[in-house]
């Protein structure tokens, strides 16, 4: 635990003199009974940018798997928005989730869009 206080992760929100040929987009989402959210990191060797959004879970009873899927939809929409608004060459987009429900739903091509 003591070593965690010494851990430093460099982060740069914007660097005007940094130029990169390609970027990677990393998208994360998660949900709980109280809220769901997503965060995007635009990564290059010289420059890092981030965007995050969160939403309060609806008042009506909604299952955690449903909120996990809603959070995944949120980060997919955010990724589309980043790709459309920035004139950058994004060479890879990686979506990260800890939800097996989200992964299984996305892999299921027969009932995914019903």
pLDDT digits (tens, 9 = 90+) for 32-86: 888 888 888 877 755 555 555 666 666 677 888 888 998 888 888 988 988 888 7
Asked if residue 91 belongs to a domain, the reply is yes
Asked if residue 79 belongs to a domain, the reply is yes
Contacts with 69 (C-beta within 8 Å, 6 or more apart), sequence order:
99, 101, 102, 105
Asked if residue 112 belongs to a domain, the reply is no
Cα distance between residue 4 and residue 2, in whole Å: 5
Range of the domain at 50: 13-104
Cα-only R_g, the chain:
17
Asked if residue 1 belongs to a domain, the reply is no
Strand pairing partners for 28?
A: 39, 96
The domain total for the chain is: 1
- Identify which has the larger pLDDT, 13 or 3: 3
CATH of the domain at 81: 3.10.20.370
């Amino acid at each position: 635990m003591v070593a965690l206080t010494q851990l430093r992760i460099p982060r740069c929100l914007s660097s005007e003199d940094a130029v990169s040929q390609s970027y990677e987009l990393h998208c994360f989402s998660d949900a709980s009974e109280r809220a769901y959210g997503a965060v995007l990191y635009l990564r290059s060797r010289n420059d890092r940018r981030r965007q995050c959004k969160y939403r309060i879970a609806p008042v009506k009873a909604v299952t955690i798997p449903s909120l996990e899927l809603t959070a995944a939809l949120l980060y997919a929409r955010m990724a589309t928005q980043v790709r459309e608004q920035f004139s950058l060459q994004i060479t890879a987009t990686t979506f990260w989730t800890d939800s097996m429900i989200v992964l299984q739903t996305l892999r299921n091509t027969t009932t995914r869009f019903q």
